[in-house]
């Protein structure tokens, strides 16, 4: 029997998806080997390769479609509607069906340039929202505590699938048990039915491996994360210690949420059933959007799908309208928000302030750089949308007028629709300059310290923010300072850090300054117009104004050192070392 063009279209897309998933799993599965061997540079490259993989496989599949089918078949929406039906049947028994739907959507949007977004022709809504079924695959391992917390922790560590031995397991158990007994609610600590539950899969990222799960008992539960590290210097210098140690024990929801933050690189973790895996993580972090959880475990494109669906639901409620984002307006980006949705939408202006010597293409490449790079908990993840369409009456008139004025090549009207050719979305934060105007003295001191830590940790990851003005950083609900304006971002290794000349009669204005020359001694007045804030910050972080500090960081990166940046506070660590970069 001859197969219809629509069926062959669906089968071709599914073949492309299978290729993507096979390679994705191969990269992910190799994370345990990279951790075992401390192949930190390989880990960084694998992370970037896995991010690039999705676009590569979409392009490969698109080329296959264009070689196989006449243009009039590919350009016919009704054919895609029929293909959608066949595709839904082909993936109906798959454990990763939602990821497969997103891959279909990517091909549809590539053909139609993100137009004709209708559920009849693509998966605006999932094909299995009303018919989801459980796989029966057991994701977790469990251990009844029976009042013996040291033995429960021993089980958690000894039964984990690590090849390297622990350096001093008894020490780790003693320290971990003491912390558990200090942190756990009495109802759980004393419960007869207390049990430790951990996902079987290990979460790998940067230099760490994380055991993730929860502790239950007495009708209550708390999340549980056990970060595992190698000994000092392993993989980077002769004599490094390959043995493992437990670095801390985390049991607070906010702490776990920070580890899974939208500001960090995606985990490398084996995910047998994506939807059920995310459902489990959602129980540990109920305030974390599903889209962010999908992204955190590597499925950032499906995270975008979940984001889009949640946005559509929120807009349909008509609780509020899009408005211009509060704060100082940007010189490169126009920013607007839907206040109830906790997201900012950013579009590139047609014309930039004369001080900004960049182009549209350069700005987009800067955002791609950050997407691929290790964000070390200090740079916001972004989602990129094309031909983003919203009804005109969902905008406040002032907001819409501003967007049409500053970006007429990007924003246009068609009947009652606003069409935005290209935009980025990021999690909403309080701009740092606004936060400093509203916070208490104690909060001011804390957030300024974190502002400096953010700059240092980005530097450790080979990122120089370029424009370090307060308005380009935000403060999260956890009080963490995050960088979110990427139009001047560059690699530390591309910068030329220079001392200001010393001596009488030297005119600084006569200096020959190249495009990559940076004078840290001049940062103060540029970053802070307020002298009180400037003095406080310079007392906290004097090294940031010393060119030698930046040159030392630069040398460490060029020497191949992957500098540690841990997603939890130094004071929580069992083996914290002075000078390590931590949250």
Beta-strand pair 195-199/140-144: antiparallel
* pLDDT at residue 95 greater than cutoff 50: yes
Average pLDDT over residues 127-141: 79
Average pLDDT over residues 3-15: 95
Average pLDDT over residues 339-345: 92
Place of tokens 């109906």: 92
Can you say whether residue 217 is alpha, beta or left, with left for phi > 0 and alpha for psi between -120 and 50 degrees?
Answer: left
Compute and round to an integer the Cα radius of gyration of the chain. Answer: 25
> So what's the pLDDT on residue 507?
56
For residue 153, give the nearest of 175, 185, 182 by alpha carbon: 175
Q: From CA 320, how far away is CA 200, in angstroms rounded?
A: 43
Q: From CA 404, how far away is CA 349, in angstroms rounded?
A: 10
The residue among 116 and 234 whose pLDDT is bigger is 116
> So what's the pLDDT on residue 369?
86
Q: From CA 1, how far away is CA 504, in angstroms rounded?
A: 91
For residue 50, give the nearest of 492, 308, 374, 379 by alpha carbon: 374
- Geometric angle at alpha carbon 169, from 165 and 174, rounded to 5°: 160
Q: From CA 441, how far away is CA 344, in angstroms rounded?
A: 28
3-class state of residue 423 by DSSP: strand
Q: What is the pLDDT of residues 169-222, one digit of tens each?
A: 999 999 999 999 999 999 999 999 999 999 999 999 989 999 999 999 999 999
Which residues share a beta bridge with 188?
none
> So what's the pLDDT on residue 297?
96
> So what's the pLDDT on residue 358?
77
The residue among 467 and 36 whose pLDDT is bigger is 36
Q: How confident is the model at residue 239 (pLDDT cuts 50, 70, 90)?
A: low
Beta-strand pair 496-497/517-518: parallel
> Among 18-22, 342-346, 464-468, where is mean pLDDT lowest?
464-468
> So what's the pLDDT on residue 498?
93
Which of 83-87, 372-376, 460-464, 524-528 has the highest average model confidence (pLDDT)?
Answer: 83-87
Active-site position among 96, 270, 381, 564: 381
> Phi and psi dihedrals of 582, rounded to 5?
-135, 165
Contact assessment for residue 298 and residue 24, using Cβ atoms and an 8 Å cutoff:
yes
Q: From CA 103, how far away is CA 299, in angstroms rounded?
A: 11
3-class state of residue 322 by DSSP: strand
Place of tokens 């920070």: 258
> So what's the pLDDT on residue 131?
46
Average pLDDT over residues 337-342: 92
Name the token pair of 249. Answer: 């024990």
3-class state of residue 448 by DSSP: helix
* pLDDT at residue 113 greater than cutoff 70: yes
> Among 24-33, 239-248, 295-304, 527-536, where is mean pLDDT lowest?
239-248
Name the token pair of 107. Answer: 């091909």
* pLDDT at residue 60 greater than cutoff 60: yes
Name the token pair of 204. Answer: 């790998």
Percentage of the chain lying above the pLDDT 90 cut: 72
Place of tokens 């899974």: 260
Q: How confident is the model at residue 583 (pLDDT cuts 50, 70, 90)?
A: very low
Q: How confident is the model at residue 568 (pLDDT cuts 50, 70, 90)?
A: confident
Q: How confident is the model at residue 331 (pLDDT cuts 50, 70, 90)?
A: confident
**What's the full length of the chain, in residues?**
583
Helices assigned H by DSSP within 297-343? 300-317
Name the token pair of 214. Answer: 């929860």
CA 557 to chain centre: 22
Q: How confident is the model at residue 14 (pLDDT cuts 50, 70, 90)?
A: very high
Q: How confident is the model at residue 579 (pLDDT cuts 50, 70, 90)?
A: very low
Q: What is the pLDDT of residues 283-292, one digit of tens each?
A: 999 999 999 9
Average pLDDT over residues 376-383: 87
> So what's the pLDDT on residue 510?
53
Beta-strand pair 430-431/208-217: unpaired
Average pLDDT over residues 22-43: 95
> So what's the pLDDT on residue 582?
44
Percentage of the chain lying above the pLDDT 70 cut: 94
> So what's the pLDDT on residue 508?
53
Instruction: Please give the C-alpha separations between residue 63 and each of 37, 74, 107, 116, in angstroms, as whole numbers.
Output: 38, 12, 10, 21
Q: From CA 394, how far away is CA 305, in angstroms rounded?
A: 21
Q: How confident is the model at residue 103 (pLDDT cuts 50, 70, 90)?
A: very high
> So what's the pLDDT on residue 1?
54
Torsion of CA 466, 468, 469, 474, to 10 degrees: 120
Please confirm, yes or no, whether 381 is among the known catalytic residues: yes
Q: How confident is the model at residue 576 (pLDDT cuts 50, 70, 90)?
A: low
> So what's the pLDDT on residue 262?
82
Which of 131-145, 232-246, 492-506 has the highest average model confidence (pLDDT)?
Answer: 131-145
* pLDDT at residue 581 greater than cutoff 50: no
Sign of the torsion formed by the C-alpha atoms of 205, 207, 209 and 214: negative
Cβ-Cβ contacts under 8 Å for 221 (sequence gap 6 or more): 188, 214, 215, 283
Contact assessment for residue 535 and residue 509, using Cβ atoms and an 8 Å cutoff:
no
* pLDDT at residue 115 greater than cutoff 90: no
3-class state of residue 386 by DSSP: strand
Name the token pair of 480. Answer: 């963490």
Contact assessment for residue 68 and residue 260, using Cβ atoms and an 8 Å cutoff:
no
Q: From CA 47, how far away is CA 58, in angstroms rounded?
A: 18
Q: How confident is the model at residue 503 (pLDDT cuts 50, 70, 90)?
A: low
Q: From CA 220, how far away is CA 550, in angstroms rounded?
A: 48
Which residues share a beta bridge with 582?
566
Average pLDDT over residues 318-323: 93
């Amino acid at each position: 029997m001859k197969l219809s063009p629509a069926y062959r279209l669906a089968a071709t897309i599914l073949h492309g998806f299978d290729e993507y998933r096979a390679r994705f799993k191969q990269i992910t599965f190799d994370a345990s080997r990279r951790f075992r061997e401390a192949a930190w540079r390989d880990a960084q490259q694998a992370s970037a390769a896995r991010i690039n993989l999705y676009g590569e496989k979409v392009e490969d599949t698109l080329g296959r479609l264009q070689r196989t089918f006449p243009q009039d078949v590919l350009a016919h929406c009704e054919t895609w509607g029929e293909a959608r039906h066949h595709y839904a049947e082909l993936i109906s028994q798959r454990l990763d069906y939602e990821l497969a739907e997103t891959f279909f959507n990517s091909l549809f949007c590539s053909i139609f340039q993100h137009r004709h977004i209708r559920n009849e022709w693509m998966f605006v809504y999932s094909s299995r929202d009303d018919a989801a079924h459980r796989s029966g695959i057991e994701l977790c391992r469990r251990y009844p505590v029976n009042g013996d917390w040291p033995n429960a922790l021993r089980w958690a560590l000894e039964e984990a699938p690590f090849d390297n031995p622990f350096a001093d397991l008894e020490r780790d158990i003693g320290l971990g048990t003491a912390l558990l007994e200090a942190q756990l609610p009495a109802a759980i600590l004393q419960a007869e039915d207390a049990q430790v539950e951990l996902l079987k899969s290990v979460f790998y990222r940067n230099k760490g491996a994380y055991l993730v799960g929860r502790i239950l008992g007495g009708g209550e539960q708390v999340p549980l994360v056990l970060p595992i590290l190698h000994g000092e210097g392993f993989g980077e210098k002769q004599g490094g210690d390959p043995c493992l140690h437990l670095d801390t024990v985390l049991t607070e929801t906010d702490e776990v949420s920070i580890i899974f933050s939208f500001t960090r690189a995606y985990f490398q973790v084996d995910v047998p059933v994506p939807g059920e895996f995310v459902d489990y993580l959602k129980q540990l972090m109920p305030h974390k959007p599903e889209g962010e959880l999908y992204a955190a475990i590597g499925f950032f494109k499906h995270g975008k799908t979940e984001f889009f669906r949640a946005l559509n639901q929120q807009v349909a409620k008509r609780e509020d309208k899009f408005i211009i984002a509060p704060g100082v307006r940007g010189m490169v980006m126009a920013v607007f928000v839907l206040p109830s949705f906790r997201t900012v939408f950013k579009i590139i202006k047609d014309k930039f302030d004369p001080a900004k010597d960049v182009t549209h293409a350069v700005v987009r490449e800067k955002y791609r750089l950050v997407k691929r790079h290790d964000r070390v908990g200090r740079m916001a993840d972004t989602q990129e949308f094309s031909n983003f369409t919203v009804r005109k009456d969902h905008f406040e008139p002032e907001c819409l007028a501003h967007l049409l004025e500053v970006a007429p090549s990007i924003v246009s009207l068609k009947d009652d629709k606003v069409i935005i050719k290209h935009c980025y979305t990021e999690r909403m934060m309080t701009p740092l300059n606004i936060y400093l105007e509203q916070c208490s003295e104690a909060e001011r001191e804390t957030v300024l310290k974190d502002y400096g830590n953010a700059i240092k940790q980005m530097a450790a990851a080979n990122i120089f923010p370029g424009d370090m003005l307060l308005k380009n950083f935000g403060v999260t609900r956890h009080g963490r300072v995050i960088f979110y304006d990427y139009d001047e971002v560059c690699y530390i290794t591309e910068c030329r850090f220079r001392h200001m000349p010393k001596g009488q009669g030297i005119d600084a204005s006569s200096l020959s300054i190249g495009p990559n020359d940076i004078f840290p001694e001049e940062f103060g007045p540029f970053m802070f117009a307020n002298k009180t804030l400037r003095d406080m910050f310079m007392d906290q972080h004097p090294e940031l104004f010393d060119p030698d500090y930046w040159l030392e960081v630069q040398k460490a990166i060029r020497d191949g050192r992957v500098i540690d940046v841990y997603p939890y506070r130094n004071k929580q660590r069992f083996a914290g070392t002075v000078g390590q970069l931590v949250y």
